[in-house]
């Protein structure tokens, strides 16, 4: 099964995001869940990072929630909201 994780930052988190980026990146490398796609969400200017998006493949929604809970960005209070949802992939044109 796939899971989407959609995280939006609090306002003014650019510097804090950069400060915690290496820890965030290292943490993602330890994921017990297969990461299909991940990266920053961007503002309408196409450049300003405003959040994070992940598409995971796994069997357990609770495992995704627990992994996200301990992400350094989450622990640092960068994200103002996090939505985690099961996702049914119907088309993949890669």
pLDDT per residue over 12-57, tens digit each? 999 999 999 999 999 999 999 999 999 999 999 999 999 999 999 9
So where are the chain's domains? 2-87
State the pLDDT at residue 25.
96
pLDDT, position 94? 82
Q: How far apart are CA 53 and CA 11, in angstroms?
A: 17
DSSP 59: S
Q: pTM here?
A: 0.92
For residues 3 and 56, the answer to whether their CB atoms sit within 8 Å is yes
Strand order across the 2-9 sheet: 34-42, 49-57, 2-9, 79-87
Q: Which helix (H) or strand (E) holds 78?
A: none
pLDDT number for residue 66: 96
Q: Which fold has domain 2-87?
A: Alpha-Beta Plaits (3.30.70)
Residue spans of alpha helices (H) in 1-94: 14-28, 61-69, 72-75
Q: Is the pLDDT of residue 92 over 90?
A: no
pLDDT score at 41: 97
């Amino acid at each position: 099964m796939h899971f989407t994780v959609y995280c939006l930052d609090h306002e003014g988190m650019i510097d804090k995001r950069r400060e915690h980026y290496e820890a965030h990146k290292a943490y993602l490398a330890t994921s017990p869940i297969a990461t299909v796609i991940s990266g920053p969400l961007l503002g309408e200017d196409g450049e300003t990072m405003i959040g994070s998006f992940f598409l995971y493949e796994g069997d357990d929604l609770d495992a995704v929630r627990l992994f996200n809970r301990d992400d350094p960005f989450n622990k640092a209070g960068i994200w103002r909201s996090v939505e985690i949802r099961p996702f049914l992939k119907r088309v993949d044109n890669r």
